[in-house]
């Protein structure tokens, strides 16, 4: 059977992205980012994001088709993020996708952004099949999931307050680092040592749940107290110690969950999975536990359209198509 050719479109935050896949084979993966503009404001300004998407959407889709060497009339479906995200930003990608689907008479597939992050691993390993345990860590979510099939998963645990990426962004702000904080905290942490005492992370009774607000407050208080005292302290050591506390718990609980579920495979997705320290420690822990690990390439951990096309393929195979009346949604539950 011929594999479907799917265009994925993503515009939920500050990346305007388009990608083409044939089956699980990635043919192109293009991004036009407004992150550098947003960085001047210390975060994403919704109106600026919408304007940037409007300027970039036509160009990014053309680039993706060109790089894949396909004409739009060859497409079998258009998959697009319809939520969660900034409404104005989502509407740009969604309206564009609807226009394409209507004019080409092909199905529209509305994709839940978070499910997209989870589907990125399928592009990394074409042989990957559920069941497996997967770690989701992004700016809005932190959870451990048991993927029973490509479309059904059980939530084993999630964050009780902040998401891991959110904690990185807030710590970056305290340390005077630019938006988005994660990569900057990671770079600074590489220059420091894990020597600043950090609070205990949620274990035992907490099961597979996480809590990041205590860790974040601890880092804020430490930085303020040391500055007020005029004591000499190292931002790099604080970044490194925070990074260990924030990420070691993710590794520990993910491996524990895989063992409990009797899985031999672990996967992951979301912006925080781009973190080099996390990737190395998760790889080492999986190797020690005899688990196979499937990690999406770094650029497919942060927002991209290849993952939206990958989730689109799953929905295409399941026959889940969306009406052209599909609306953008600012927040949607994980499932
Ligand atoms: O998945 P993503 O691109 O967007 C959401 O759907 O939320 O994740 C963005 C989050 C941000 O909080 C960002 O600081 C974090 O992922 N992030 C990182 C790294 N790269 C991005 N966190 C830690 N280390 C990184 N290298
Ligand atoms: Zn995302």
Asked if the model's pLDDT at residue 334 lies above 80, the reply is: no
Is the residue at 287 inside a domain? Answer: yes
**Residue with CA nearest ligand 1 atom 14:** 182
**188 and 71 belong to one structural domain:** no
Token reading at 87: 């409404």
Mutate to test the pocket of ligand 1, among 164, 240, 302 (most ligand atoms within 8 A of CB): 302
* Burial profile 71-100: b = 16 or more Cβ within 10 angstroms, e = fewer: eeeebbbbbbbbbbbbbbbbbbbbebbbeb
C-alpha distances in Å from residue 288, one per residue of 109, 259, 284 = 40, 12, 6
Instruction: Mark the residues whose beta carbon lies below 5 A from ion ligand 2.
Output: 138, 303
On the question of pLDDT at 204 being above 90, the answer is no
Expressed in angstroms and rounded, the spacing between residue 100 Cα and the centre of ligand 1 is 30
110 and 29 in one domain?
yes
**Residue 326 domain-assigned?**
no
Residues 209, 156 within the same domain: yes
Strand ordering across the sheet containing 25-33: 25-33, 15-22, 5-10, 77-83, 108-112
In a shared domain, residues 106 and 26: yes
In this structure, which residue's CA is closest to atom 3 in ligand 1?
Answer: 302
Q: What is the pLDDT of residues 248-287, one digit of tens each?
A: 999 999 999 999 999 999 999 999 999 999 999 999 999 9
**Interacting residues of 198 by C-beta distance below 8 A, sequence separation 6+:** 215, 218, 241, 242, 244, 245
Q: How many angstroms is it from 222 CA to the middle of ligand 2? A: 30
Query: Which residues surround ligand 1 with Cβ inside 6 Å?
Result: 117, 138-140, 165-166, 168-169, 180-183, 186, 270-272, 274-275, 302-303
With respect to residue 313, please indicate whether it lies within any of the assigned structural domains: yes
* High-pLDDT (> 90) share of the chain, %: 91
Residues 104 and 196 in one domain: no
For residues 190 and 266, state if they share a domain.
Answer: yes
173 and 227 both lie in a single domain? yes
Residue 330 placed within a domain: no
Residues 88 and 150 in one domain: no
Both tokens of residue 31?
Answer: 């991004």
The greatest distance separating any two alpha carbons of the chain, rounded to the nearest whole angstrom, comes to 70
Residue 305 lies in a domain: yes
The SS3 call for residue 13 is coil
Task: Tell me, yes or no, whether 196 and 247 share the same domain.
Answer: yes
325 within some domain: no
Q: Does 324 reside within a domain?
A: no
CA distances from 13 to 6, 80, 87 (A): 22, 13, 9
User: Which residue of 83, 85, 115, 165 sits with most ligand 1 atoms within 8 Å of its CB, as the best mutation to test the pocket?
Assistant: 165
What is the span of the domain harbouring residue 162? 128-298
- 303 Cα to the center of ligand 2, angstroms: 5
The CATH number for 239's domain is: 3.30.420.40
Atom of ligand 1 nearest to the CA of 301: 1
Say which residues have a Cβ less than 8 Å from residue 194's Cβ, sequence separation at least 6. 237, 240, 241, 244
Q: What is the mean pLDDT of residues 83-107?
A: 98
| Tens-digit pLDDT profile for residues 21-74 | 999 999 999 999 988 888 888 888 899 999 999 999 999 999 999 999 999 999
Instruction: Give yes or no: residues 133 and 260 share one domain.
Output: yes
Residue 294 confidence (pLDDT) above 70: yes
Which of 119, 182, 215 to mutate to test ligand 1, by most ligand atoms within 8 A of the CB atom? 182
Predicted confidence (pLDDT) at residue 335 exceeds the cutoff of 70:
no
Same domain flag for 39 and 141:
no
- From 11, 86, 138, 249, the mutation candidate for ligand 1 (largest count of ligand atoms within 8 A of CB) is 138
Shared domain for 45 and 149, answered yes or no, is no
| 292 falls within a domain | yes
Q: Rounded to 10 degrees, what is the CA torsion of 251, 252, 253, 257?
A: 100
Domain count, the chain: 2
- The pLDDT tens digits of the residues spanning 110-164 come to 999 999 999 999 999 999 999 999 999 999 999 999 999 999 999 999 999 999 9
CA of 75 to the centre of ligand 1 (A): 31
Q: Over the stretch 225-235, which tens digit does the pLDDT of each residue have?
A: 999 998 899 99
pTM: 0.96
């Amino acid at each position: 059977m011929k594999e479907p050719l799917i265009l994925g479109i993503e515009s939920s935050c500050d990346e305007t992205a388009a990608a083409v896949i044939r089956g699980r084979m990635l043919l192109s993966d293009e991004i036009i980012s407004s992150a550098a503009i947003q960085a001047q404001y210390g975060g994403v300004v919704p109106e600026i994001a919408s304007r940037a998407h409007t300027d970039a959407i036509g160009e990014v889709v053309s680039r993706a088709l060109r790089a894949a060497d396909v004409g739009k009339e060859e497409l079998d479906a258009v998959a697009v993020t319809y939520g969660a995200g900034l409404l104005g930003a989502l509407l740009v990608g969604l309206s564009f996708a609807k226009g394409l689907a209507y004019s080409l008479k092909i199905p529209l597939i509305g994709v839940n952004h978070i499910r997209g992050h989870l589907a990125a691993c399928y592009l990394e390993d074409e042989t990957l099949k559920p069941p497996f345990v997967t770690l989701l860590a992004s700016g809005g979510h932190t959870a451990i999931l048991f993927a029973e099939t490509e479309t059904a998963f059980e939530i084993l645990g999630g964050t009780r307050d902040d998401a891991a990426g959110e904690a990185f962004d807030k710590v970056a702000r305290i340390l005077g680092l630019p938006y988005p904080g994660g990569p900057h905290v990671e770079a600074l942490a590489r220059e420091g040592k894990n020597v600043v005492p950090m609070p205990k992370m949620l274990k035992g009774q907490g099961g597979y749940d996480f809590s990041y607000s205590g860790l974040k407050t601890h880092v804020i208080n430490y930085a303020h107290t040391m500055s007020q005292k005029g004591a000499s302290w190292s931002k790099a050591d604080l970044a490194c110690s925070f990074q260990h506390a924030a990420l070691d718990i993710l590794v520990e609980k993910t491996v524990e969950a895989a063992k409990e579920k009797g899985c031999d495979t672990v996967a992951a997705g979301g912006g925080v999975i781009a973190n080099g320290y996390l990737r190395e420690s998760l790889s080492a822990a999986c190797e020690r536990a005899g688990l196979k690990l499937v990690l999406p390439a770094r650029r497919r951990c942060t927002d991209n359209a290849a993952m939206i096309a990958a989730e689109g393929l799953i929905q295409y195979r399941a026959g889940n198509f969306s009406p052209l009346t599909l609306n953008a949604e600012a927040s949607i539950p994980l499932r």
